[in-house]
Amino acid sequence: MDIAPHCPRSTPDELKSESLDLRVYAWLVRNRRTGTHDPEAIARELAAGPADVRLALSRLVETGLLAEEPLPGSRLTVVPAEAAASRRTAPLEAQIRERQEAIAHIRSSVDPFSLVFQRESRSWGGGFQEISTVAEVRDRLNRLSDGCRTELVSCQPGGGSRIPAAMAEAMGRDRAMLDRGVRIRTLYHHTARFNGPSQAYVAELSARGAEYRTLHELFGRLIIVDRETAFIPAPGHDGQGAILISEPPVVAYLYDVFELAWTHARPFVDATGRAMEAVSRELHRTILRLLADGLKDEAIARRLGMSLRTTRRHVADILSELNVSSRFQAGVAAARSGLLEEADGHANP
């Protein structure tokens, strides 16, 4: 049940009547000692129509700003505005107290079960806890984000292929943190630069102060909150679970891993111009190196965060460019031409 009163926007006629109500109320306050509330007298002094004054008096009674005394023929009594408001809000405040008591009862009733869940949940000891479902991961991440004080860093592989609902939820979390002054830094695969939703996400939050960079290869999914708590994927859950880490030395190590990658990554500023050309060349060289290392298309796609179809198109372009028909021949041709050394020695600006 909705306990909040609906407050529609006033029309010009309503604004006019409100002004008369105020004038009548002010007149009654000034003359409350006389006990006079004759509409004719009030109308003469306020230069208003008697019928309008009667309507104003009726509205003031309805809102509790005037009280009719119980005896027949008795005068109207002016009620202080705060007292009138208190009388009207008292039922609402009572409903709010009932709701708060109901909430407290629900929470207290599940507290024993929460303790059992925490005790029986699989734990790896110390500062490690396995979270087995996406819902639990999102709930824990939301709670930690709400309490984040200084910084959240994350590595999000996959080239921007995140579920729209998850991106929308992350957008809300990130906006709230940025509004509190939290620093946000995120690493994506280079391929995220070619993904429309990722471009829009980065553009909006960059304008609010978030920082984004991309790399051709990433070390895996990672989220670190305030350098105190880290999330990494849980093994054996097909990406549905996570390991929550609060062991300080491990969190510090993971943060250093992120920082090292961050220093080698390119700023994700826009999706056009020379930056995009440089990223495309770097992806091309990286695929060439992975081909020479003997990786299959599926493995290359995972390493670079791109679809298998896109990976195969890049591989076909490389074979055509080198005028060879096999991966082995591509590796040999690249080594002879010095392309592999260029790929290994390439440094990001």
Fold category of 128-267 in CATH: Endonuclease; Chain A (3.30.870)
Confidence check: pLDDT of 226 > 90: yes
pLDDT value, residue 11: 47
Compute how many other C-beta atoms are within 10 angstroms of the C-beta atom of residue 52: 17
* Cβ partners under 8 Å of residue 321, min gap 6: none
- In angstroms, how far is CA 100 from the centroid of its own chain? 26
pLDDT value, residue 150: 95
pLDDT value, residue 4: 41
Compute how many other C-beta atoms are within 10 angstroms of the C-beta atom of residue 28: 21
Confidence check: pLDDT of 349 > 60: no
Q: Which residue has the tokens 């008591």?
A: 101
Confidence check: pLDDT of 316 > 60: yes
Contact at 8 Å (CB) between 177 and 146?
A: no
Query: Residue 53: is it exposed, middle or buried by C-beta count within 10 angstroms (0-12/13-18/19+)?
Result: buried
**Rounded Cα distance, 190 and 214, in Å:** 5
Q: pLDDT-derived band of residue 6, with 50, 70 and 90 as boundaries?
A: very low
Average pLDDT for the chain: 80
Residue ranges in 180-273 assigned as alpha helix (H)? 196-206, 248-264
Report, as an integer, the average pLDDT of 257-274: 81
Query: Residue 273: is it exposed, middle or buried by C-beta count within 10 angstroms (0-12/13-18/19+)?
Result: exposed
pLDDT in tens, 105-149: 888 888 888 777 666 655 555 688 888 888 888 888 889 999 999
Confidence check: pLDDT of 346 > 70: no
Edge to edge, the sheet with strand 211-215 lists 128-131, 242-245, 229-233, 222-225, 151-156, 183-189, 211-215, 266-267
Q: What's the N-to-C CA distance of the chain in angstroms?
A: 59
**Rounded Cα distance, 64 and 153, in Å:** 56
For the chain, the residue count is 349
Share of the chain above pLDDT 70, in %: 79
pLDDT value, residue 251: 94
Confidence check: pLDDT of 348 > 80: no
Among 187-191, 224-228, 273-277, the minimum mean pLDDT is found in 273-277
Tokens (6 digits) for 291: 């081909």
Stretch(es) of the chain classified as CATH 1.10.10.10: 12-79, 274-345
Share of the chain above pLDDT 90, in %: 20
pLDDT value, residue 275: 62
What is the CATH code of the structural domain delimited by 274-345? 1.10.10.10
Q: pLDDT-derived band of residue 200, with 50, 70 and 90 as boundaries?
A: confident
More confident: 260 or 13: 260
Residue ranges in 63-185 assigned as alpha helix (H)? 81-120, 134-146, 164-179
pLDDT value, residue 5: 41
pTM flag (> 0.75): no
Rg (CA), the chain: 34
pLDDT in tens, 147-173: 999 999 999 887 555 667 777 888 889
Tokens (6 digits) for 204: 């909006």
pLDDT value, residue 13: 52
Kind and range of the H or E element at 67? strand 66-68
pLDDT in tens, 63-98: 888 887 665 555 778 888 888 888 888 888 889 989
Q: Which residue has the tokens 């200084």?
A: 150
Stretch(es) of the chain classified as CATH 3.30.870.10: 128-267
Fold category of 12-79 in CATH: Arc Repressor Mutant, subunit A (1.10.10)
Q: pLDDT-derived band of residue 213, with 50, 70 and 90 as boundaries?
A: very high
